[in-house]
Structure 1
Amino acid sequence: MRAAERALMEQLPEGALMSRAAAGLAAACSTLLGRTYGARVVLLVGSGDNGGDALYAGARLARRGAGVTAVLLSPERAHEGGLAALRAAGGRTLVAPGAVVDAEENAARPVAPVLARADLVVDGIVGIGGRGGLRPAAVELTDLVREAGVPVVAVDLPSGVDADTGRVDGPAVDAAATVTFGAYKPGLLIDPAHERAGAVRLVDIGLGPHLPATPDVEALQHEDVARLLPRPAPESDKYRRGVVGVAAGSATYPGAASLTVSGALRGGAGAVRFLGESAQVREHVIQRFPEVLLSEGPVRKAGRVQAWAVGPGLGDGAEARRTVADVLGTPLPVLVDADGLRLMSEGPDGLEAVRARQAETVLTPHAGEAAALLGCAREEVEDARLESARRLVELTGATVLLKGSTTLVASPPGAGGETVPVRVNPTGTGWLATAGSGDVLSGLIGSLLAAGLSGRDAASVGAYLHGYAGRRTREPATALGVAGALTRAWEDVSHSG
């Protein structure tokens, strides 16, 4: 971002770039306020360009009739042009409590009462260069904001979060909305920082031609997913469309088999072949889904299959271990989830089998399963989701879909060794945190693999449709409700293409 800004500023008059950002920020604040004239706005102003953006935006709001007060954390280092513009527009300034400065004005007019009367607070404390949590003076100020209960709009990103990774390594601002400039920052898309950002609005300030062609992180939209959805050709039959093999469920967990199959039936493949050693589970599946092809096993004799989904509800018996090993030993695309991941993490053989594979391999761990594979605490994965997903790719050589509040899809380097952007799924919802939801996702992604999508695309499309279906179900969502909503989700997305 800094390199792109420098390149653009060389082509523009001085101050033009900040003026663009301030105009977009002021417009977003006006929208949130509903009315500008008579509104009370408080700016939290640090020493960097974010503080300058806030001051210039405050000047625009003041010229439209808002009462604007800037609280300065470092008065001697505040943006001079922004301060002058705010004061010329009728705005006022205070010094933040805890700031090291001799200020009689601040003693006469404490900050807390000003915040208590505010309609909106603008966070311009720290920008993309911030590392670690907020400093003590900023913490004291943001505590006053929290006590006042005033909604906060963050400038570019909430102060205290890491722009590059989404980590939050200390106190940080909780924003109701974030106005970001030029491009989304990874920290705005990835938890735990994502949950601090609120609703995110991107303001185009003309950086596009100067940004790198390959981003670190990307998020697919409806149109992107629509282009990737498999579509049958006129001459297609069920085998040409792909057959997904499902090895899931056990006498202890028969529902996992049905839920995985329910996702697989809605993933674009022409047929689903269910492999189950238990007659009870096979009977359970065929009663629910008479269109499913049944196989008793072993894997090598299951019949024609283009991809496998293995793991949900298998248990940890000898048969489960043999099934996982046999599936990993095939030359076909494979998705591994749940018990399959756990069995892999219990010894070196499972990881070696994954690393040795030449075909597409997709692993779909949640934070606990990822921690077991990485040999770390679950909290480490949750605090550093982007880094953890990348570490898992390095460890396994597979495509990794790291489930959670923000689902990430990380993939190995391209054929030429080029870095592949990590994909962040934008459709997730907390209602998907329900028993069996992950089984549905496993079947869905396995079916997309069988239909011919790459591991990266199958995982990304599956996560997108799964999340979108979760949003379309009636609350509270169930796994079967999510599976049932997949058909409509597919229809909605495909029409956008």
Structure 2
Amino acid sequence: MRTAYSVETVRAAERELMARLPEGALMQRAAAGLAAACADVLGRVYGSRVVLLVGSGDNGGDALYAGARLARRGAGVSAVLLAPERAHGGGLAALRRAGGRVVGADGGGAEAVVGRADLVVDGIVGIGGTGGLRPNAVPLADAVERSRAVVVAVDLPSGVDADTGEVRGRALRADLTVTFGTHKPGLLVDPAREYAGSVRLVDIGLELPASAELEALQHADVARMLPVPAAESDKYRRGVVGIAAGSARYPGAAVLAVAGALRGGAGAVRYVGPAGQAVIARFPETLVSDGGPKHAGRVQSWVVGPGAGDDAATVAEVLAAEVPVLIDADGLRLAEASAVRARRAPTVMTPHAGEAAALLGVEREEVEGGRLAAVRELAGRYGATVLLKGSTTLIASAGGAAVRVNPTGTSWLATAGSGDVLSGLAGSLLAAGLPAVDAASAAAYLHGLAGRFAADGAPAGAHDVAEEIAGAWRSVVRA
């Protein structure tokens, strides 16, 4: 599992470690890792042209010391100091001793040097920075964008928020971010993640709390969560998921939700709604009921809302059930907030950014620009586990204290019906007995992998994604 910690937590861990180390040792560890990463990017260090963009913080010092190491290996290293009077003195002296030179940030000299660089090291702003780039850094950012240089960010790209992943203004886009001690939330959450490029973690010896601000599951984590039938299991012991979805206008939503549910680990799927004939025609193993949810038979979880139209009565009936419930699509619009908050059994909500904005009473752009804040606010407001879909899928536990980020998605999943498949899959994992946050996290992980397998570099439909869930499941458990 990859973990990310807030700036406050990282700073505290750094202070504790520095108290036990010789002065400057921690910065030297970071600089050594940064220099090694830069050397890997360059391939051939000797004769390469490296430009350091140096701010006033410690990451400017990291950049200077790393530049000194590269200069000693034969690179031509130039440092552009954005705040010369506050540049790290020790790092600047080390660079000069190694043969590096300093270029003024004013005028066109610095921009010309950037234009000739093979590699640019972004050490302008550290993890404590807020807001976008300051005005004096913008011309350099423009020059970097015009250049053909590879950009390596120190700890995180300048101009992005380390704790939230927000980008409030101009930011410098990196090809590689070398981060120290631990990931920061902004490196895993869009829109900041988009600026980070590849991320390389350098261990500098920090001792961090067991509980992180953000988690990203990996294959082994998901494999431990997925249900495995025991020898004595039958279809009912494995769990039964109910699907209340679809309408005369959107029968396909029901079919796709059932498709996801059938591949999610539960032993049986019950369907209620007006799309029974379409469901049976595609999946004859489905248990279809002509009555409402109360007359469908026993289930261990419900999925309600995909393609439901304006069927508020069914949504209300499902919310009254004393089993875990997943609410998606039209169900999010139709569900009474008070009814969701009053539930004692687990609830999972799966909005995309537009639906989340409507639930929060804000503009969609606010959700997309502050995804971490939005998912936490929704989880706290509704007392539900919230899976916020999008370029970065985030899962917040009920109340919003713990958040997971899904690393497996692909932009090809932005296709009609994909979310219906995800809802069925997550609902089935709920029926199989997974806690709400694990069911949502594992479903997002498998769904993302299935999307990758289905697309394989080309467009894919939601039904293709459903067909690849089994392959994604196998890839996880066999890793």
Calculate the TM-score normalised by the size of structure 2.
0.96
User: Which amino acid counterpart does residue 60 of structure 1 have in structure 2?
Assistant: R
Equivalences for 1:144-159 in 2 at 5 Å? 144-159=143-158
- 1:491 aligned residue: 474
Which aligned runs of 4 or more in structure 1 are off by greater than 2 angstroms?
none
CA distance in 1, matches of 2:160, 2:339: 38
Residue 300 of structure 2: which of 306, 314, 319 is its match? 306
- 1:182 aligned residue: 181
Residue 76 of structure 1: which of 85, 88, 99 is its match? 85
Q: Secondary structure of 2:237's match? A: helix
1:431 matched to 2:388: no
CA distance in 2, matches of 1:180, 1:398: 33
- 1:260 aligned residue: 257
CA distance in 1, matches of 2:80, 2:16: 32
Equivalences for 1:160-171 in 2 at 5 Å? 160-171=159-170
- Report Cα offsets for 1:118-146 as digits up to 9, x if no partner: 11111000001101111100112111111
Residue 422 of structure 2: which of 441, 457, 469 is its match? 441
- Report Cα offsets for 1:141-192 as digits up to 9, x if no partner: 1111112242211100001111111111111111111010001101111111
Q: Secondary structure of 1:246's match? A: strand
- 2:363 aligned residue: 377
1:403 matched to 2:403: no
Shift of 1:112: 2.3
CA distance in 2, matches of 1:420, 1:370: 18
CA distance in 2, matches of 1:9, 1:412: 37
- Report Cα offsets for 1:197-242 as digits up to 9, x if no partner: 11111111000x2x12211111111111111111111110000000
User: Which amino acid counterpart does residue 249 of structure 1 have in structure 2?
Assistant: G
- 2:191 aligned residue: 192
- Report Cα offsets for 1:36-89 as digits up to 9, x if no partner: 111111110001100000011111111111111111101111111111111111
Shift of 1:411: 1.3
Q: Secondary structure of 1:239's match? A: coil
CA distance in 2, matches of 1:149, 1:342: 48
Shift of 1:27: 1.1
User: Which amino acid counterpart does residue 303 of structure 2 have in structure 1?
Assistant: A
1:224 matched to 2:221: yes
User: Which amino acid counterpart does residue 36 of structure 2 have in structure 1?
Assistant: A
Residue 329 of structure 1: which of 320, 325, 330 is its match? 320
User: Which amino acid counterpart does residue 276 of structure 2 have in structure 1?
Assistant: R
Equivalences for 1:98-137 in 2 at 5 Å? 110-137=109-136
- Report Cα offsets for 1:338-376 as digits up to 9, x if no partner: 0101112xxxxx111100000010000001101111111
Residue 272 of structure 1: which of 238, 249, 269 is its match? 269
CA distance in 2, matches of 1:61, 1:477: 46
Residue 34 of structure 2: which of 5, 25, 36 is its match? 25
Residue 277 of structure 2: which of 280, 283, 298 is its match? 283
User: Which amino acid counterpart does residue 144 of structure 1 have in structure 2?
Assistant: A
CA distance in 2, matches of 1:444, 1:303: 20
Instruction: Please say if residues 79 and 100 of structure 2, whose CA atoms lie closer than 8 Å, have aligned partners that are also in contact.
Output: yes
How many pairs does the alignment contain? Answer: 468
1:386 matched to 2:390: no
1:205 matched to 2:199: no
Instruction: Please say if residues 118 and 148 of structure 2, whose CA atoms lie closer than 8 Å, have aligned partners that are also in contact.
Output: no
CA distance in 2, matches of 1:24, 1:428: 29
Q: Secondary structure of 2:32's match? A: helix
Bigger CA drift: 437-446 or 379-388? 379-388
Shift of 1:421: 2.1
1:50 matched to 2:37: no
User: Which amino acid counterpart does residue 312 of structure 1 have in structure 2?
Assistant: P
1:236 matched to 2:217: no
Runs of 5+ consecutive residues of structure 2 not aligned to the other structure: 1-9
1:341 matched to 2:332: yes
- 1:416 aligned residue: none
- Report Cα offsets for 1:297-324 as digits up to 9, x if no partner: 21111012110011111111xxx11110
- Report Cα offsets for 1:417-446 as digits up to 9, x if no partner: xx7421011111111111111000000000
1:41 matched to 2:50: yes
Shift of 1:412: 2.4
Shift of 1:95: 1.5
* RMSD over aligned Cα atoms: 1.1
Q: Secondary structure of 1:373's match? A: helix
CA distance in 2, matches of 1:34, 1:270: 53
Runs of 5+ consecutive residues of structure 1 not aligned to the other structure: 98-106, 345-349, 414-418
Q: Secondary structure of 1:240's match? A: coil
1:297 matched to 2:291: yes
Q: Secondary structure of 2:178's match? A: strand
1:357 matched to 2:343: yes
Percent identity over paired residues:
70
CA distance in 2, matches of 1:146, 1:70: 18
Shift of 1:265: 0.8
Shift of 1:113: 2.2
1:95 matched to 2:111: no
1:479 matched to 2:462: yes
- 2:352 aligned residue: 366
CA distance in 2, matches of 1:117, 1:399: 50
Instruction: Please say if residues 30 and 62 of structure 2, whose CA atoms lie closer than 8 Å, have aligned partners that are also in contact.
Output: yes
User: Which amino acid counterpart does residue 412 of structure 1 have in structure 2?
Assistant: A
Q: Secondary structure of 1:446's match? A: helix
- 2:4 aligned residue: none
Shift of 1:292: 0.9
